[in-house]
Structure 1
């Protein structure tokens, strides 16, 4: 201990232009800036030096300059912890460059924390150390089983890669060690999320100056040019071939270079390594799935030359020093500037023996990011990178100066003890549930979702609880955490034990908050009151007149009005007698009279009741009692109105056993939200490219399970209509997140509680939540057109085979038929997650209209054609009905554009005939009326001559549903 303090006079730093002596100009400036800052300021100091410029030497020098007694060094990874330990144990850079003169070769005592610090004694075990090196994963007091260091144990804290400082596991090293001085070292003192680093930026050394003083080697970019729509395998193979050439070139001129091959997904690293091995290179894949010992063994082999390179996602990342890494192959480039600069800086280091210029290899069509300007041929990379980075940093410095020109103002305060429930006003809006158990633990609630309960009231007489909650969050106009808005809301809960009805009124009407509340009070054992029962809030009202009514289309995929709102005086009179065949009640809002008094009332199929305005707590409780009495009354007397022409659905008691498919809500199709999938390497996509598959109704018919995801990531979800939340996911699954318009993310199962799926049966009845709507079938509905196909030499039980395209599967047989047709403009193979159909075919019709044919294939359930296997048609019925939405021209164009464009995940729907540009051009030239849609269900397992009554009924329902949307359905079957 006290090594740095006692030897401070032996550290004499000076600038030198001679290689191997003294320090670089930027290093000297950083040390002077640190010393000056801590003379008068206790705020954390931020030092910005370019990647590879020598931050570790400055960190070691700072320990002497600041006369530290015991130092804590925080690094982000185990690999960097090991590297930093070697540097501090030897101080070789400072000694070799003549800036540190030690007697008797005494060196500092270095402690390393490589396991969770769960006791104070674990810190005290390093009492004799001069410097302790740790990662947040092992030492962050934010972790539940980690204790903070004793007060005063460290007087200096150094953070390598300090741009992480605002992170949850890094920030406590500043907050919980207030007596220590804090220095944050980073190459990029700005963050993508806009959150500023704690403390002050006391020194910034421009990357351009470092380039000019030859602190970095030359960086060359090799562009691999391929056709615009090259496949993922074609791109990878071309990059491998170019990497082999570059590596051989460098080796032949005596350079001991190594390859770092970057891919975007852990699962892709293994197959990619095999491609390099097949090309003659010694390459292994490294990922977070390997143990630290296995990673260290691979690193050793790489350093000793037993390996030519490694394939990884982001292993050996920030701050890692390996000068022999001189050839980078980017199968997936970083999307943002910060990691790009760090990555490039690692290859530009000049401290290696027998090394030359660095080379970056990438395919331009793979690049669509903030950094894509860097990946262009013919550019002088060293200067271009410096200019881009310095321009970005100057903007951050200017912003910091503007912020500091403002002075602090006053702070708000709140006295919750003085809040009187008599003065509170709540909205006349109720979420109505049936609870199958009495609420418990109402007085123990501490949070409702993210909202903190700051005060509660209880009425035993009225069996009600009132909660005042607070939401602490940064305002939308600030990305920092130093300004917090405190927003307050109210929740009122009232329970009726005789009828098990639960009412909730709140000023913050979000489904996730309702779910959080009922999960805690009744363990989620509730369901919204079905509309068939809730509409009884009209019980006893005469002279009804409705200002607004909602008509919900009962077709699963209506391409006409999906939800029609009729508004105005006596809106219910606008309901026609024929509307009942297509629509059911969605909501109503109007007035009526009871006991000579007028009343305004509204209700919806989502289990909500409302009226106008806000009212006091006693008046709201009385209103709840009135509504409860009407809903639970044995005698029902609802006055006549135009609503009588519309069905209002049935209570879903048991899930139909023949539930075969599910589809997104209509709002989802309109908004198409962004989804984020995976953990270690996240992928962004859109919700409509996910599939809802493998629906299985459980034996008790009280719940069902389904899978949601794509070909790479999926999540198994359970839907239980009589519980809240209705959608839950099992543990230990890859996350699938949905991003809202304001950037907030939620798990897909949480999002589904706000945007519930539409499930439908083989007979095309639908249910959402706990309300079932039966579809009225048109008189005389038939099974549609049957087209008999010759399936000779086709393996009719096999739908597709991706590994052997010569196999005569159902899809291959159909593909040959489609490509043999004349006058077809384009054929798209769309068979993957989120498909419109397996094949999309476009052609001009004889009458001048444009025909879009969608083909859905299914392998037969037996070796021979039959007319009895209902499983042969279940999935096809669901696919056929869902795909009718693509007769809307805008929907079709959006789908074709999105699906036929190569993305970073490798998914693309290729054109088997025609081109993308030509197809989009012809579609965009059409008027909506020009489009004519035909859906084909391809099932060689069906015998046209032997269809039994069950199959005919199911096929007729599908045909009727498709025909109702002005489309056609054709079944391609066997004789």
Structure 2
């Protein structure tokens, strides 16, 4: 700074004006792994009553300001001048024009004492002065909500008292849940002063938060301003650890301070020096800030050394970044909703962008966010926009978008490796810039309340923390700060999933986060509506932390008992609660007529007489009233008892049971029983028998005998175009295998209730139509329709199942065909082959029915193939011997190893005339099937003609999947207003001249059609399959298989499928089939295929043929 500039600054000092005197610092004491500092006196204000000239040498005088308290302060640019007798303090200006102490008598005295007695003793003396100086003074507000007297906020006082209560009894870890902006750091400071627990180690997750926490402890934050301690109270000696300790000498920093601040990374143990136990021995208390970041096993191991110390964990959310709850007893939890009511947390407006195309997503988010910022600035709100990105590369691209959109707002980039980050932050603080694009630098600890608009370009941290950070409203905020806004693209799966996780973690987000015209997925919206309408009732006990049994975390398994009811009185359920059962939480949804609650039962243990050790069982009960059908559904995870008193108390009358309950099995196609329980009269030990697998034939026969009846049935089948599991008991219980949300349970129950009241469903006729598994030793004398991979493989994504050849080269299932090569009925053998291109057989296998094991699969020729299952490699023949391929016959019976699954009463299949669509095949060589052959497009092929017809019909994607492992010859996709139309087209030219050969052609194409049904409920896997095939099947002469559309469009449709239903069409195209002259054998095969599609995925087979 020049002399002229210095003199200009000095001119600002005038009599009768105030001056902000800088704080008096001891100066940093450098240590091996960090530094130590002490603020001798905080910043204060003084009033200038005079300005004098004081000589500092015979020829030179300097200005001195005289304060009302009589203190004279010299103001000089000269360094380390000899102070005149009448002054003891010298102020100067730094290069930015800020005042600092060049000399001060208190600094000299402190450093002299450090030399005399050391920092450790001084720290002890300071701690001794804190005895009884803390006042538990509360903030006061008037009726308008304005603060009339400063003090601690309710969450701070609540947390502080909870800490004192806990420490009076325990040293175990305690957790305090306080949303961002409610004063966590001041609570830590108060804990140190009020309870004086000794030497404290404070651990924070990041360097940015470490710096801010260090600064807070140096000055004791706002404790003086709030009136909780006196102005002259002494500040602590504070150390900061910035690097990993590697020796005992490095750890001496812990001896010299009242409090030490460290980041988690700086406490990692050096490979040659185990420091954790030694650190624990040097401190009396451990405070962990932002504890939700802690998940690593190394950190857990570090904390183990503090078991005998006082440990506090502060967090804004009780959920760690790995999704688990932070451990430790929750001492205090201040709810988000309460924070909003108390005015510490503002409502957040959520503005969802719905952009499927990733290339346009960033622009759409930026456009929306900039528009919100400009509206806020027009309204004279002091707001800043923060755009969050996953990495530095993304941030670099995104900041350019903002610079093009709003150059006048001067967007800046801030991240840890950006050299200009400090300068950029200064621009944000000065409002020279209103937009900051960052990666992970502006975290929870960054204190700038004006950051009120968050543009979420990438989800990479806890969404709850980002929202709290943006929504907080601190007492230092001016009235120019309004409501917060969040912009995110919910078409991206990770954003939608993050929102679902957010809602599941804390109910209050449903109130605080206002979704502005959100197009969330239907099931998600229904769940949110249900949870919003659910109100917690009084009467639950506080035996466990509320977070652990939050109603957002409930996921019941589907089971119910059904009762008739005229008047539902849900709140009376407690009249039927057993004496040994305590109700922990109760929620009532009046709109849905549903009450649900969590219970606890403590049982004494047989192996101890202790009255404190108990075996605890937790159970969930859901009672729903179906007003339309006048039914009560009683669902519980406790299935060993019947709760007749409880259901009677809420209004239930007659229970639906015995024969009527088996109506549950109605409307289920291709029902296969896994087990049947039969109740029989006679000797007591033969009263009940359970039958599984092939024995269900015997069981069904028994149910038809006098004196025997069905006790329970369970099986699988197809309902409403999707696979289902179902079970029911004559005692009145109905169940399914999969868990779900409570709204999904209610929907499932009401579907059950609808069937129970349907008089057209005859339980005895349901049994007539089930598929019966029967063990066989000879192959059936029926024509084979198709072969498919085992269900165990079909449940997996084909791109994730790998088969290896003898050289170790892997092939995904999506590139491999499985086909029947021969039926050797005389020796009960089925020969099937695998191929990975359409020209050659890769390997040949033989399935033999009979023998001691029932069946066996052996490899007959070709390569010795292996399949990788988890970490284990198996020969494919060994795998098939445990999980055989599924063989289907034209009567729709199925062979699964040696189990022949067939209808108890086979029926005639019908072939509706309307499924035939004759085309004019002029210009097409119907002997040519594939549109691509030997490096050329064949414009006169069947596939080419069909592909052009679908392109002309407006399908955005037409993909040629014709190769081994195909989903169909052509995959065609078209997005409609409310659904996605998926057409799987299977083409076949006529090879055979003889009638029998022409039937084989139909069998082949129908086999492909049946195998493709799985894609209806595996649409995302189909999209992955297409993208994988596009990459793997590409060649120099044919770089793409898209006839229209591209990979980006496939990704788009995959994303849209989360919001829209898939409507499947399966089409076979065979010009060799004549609608007018179809042969009887062809008709049988087509009718069977059509029936299979109707019974499983609920659609008709479409046949494009000739006249």
Normalising by structure 1, we get a TM-score of 0.47
Normalising by structure 2, we get a TM-score of 0.42
Structure with higher Rg: it is: 2
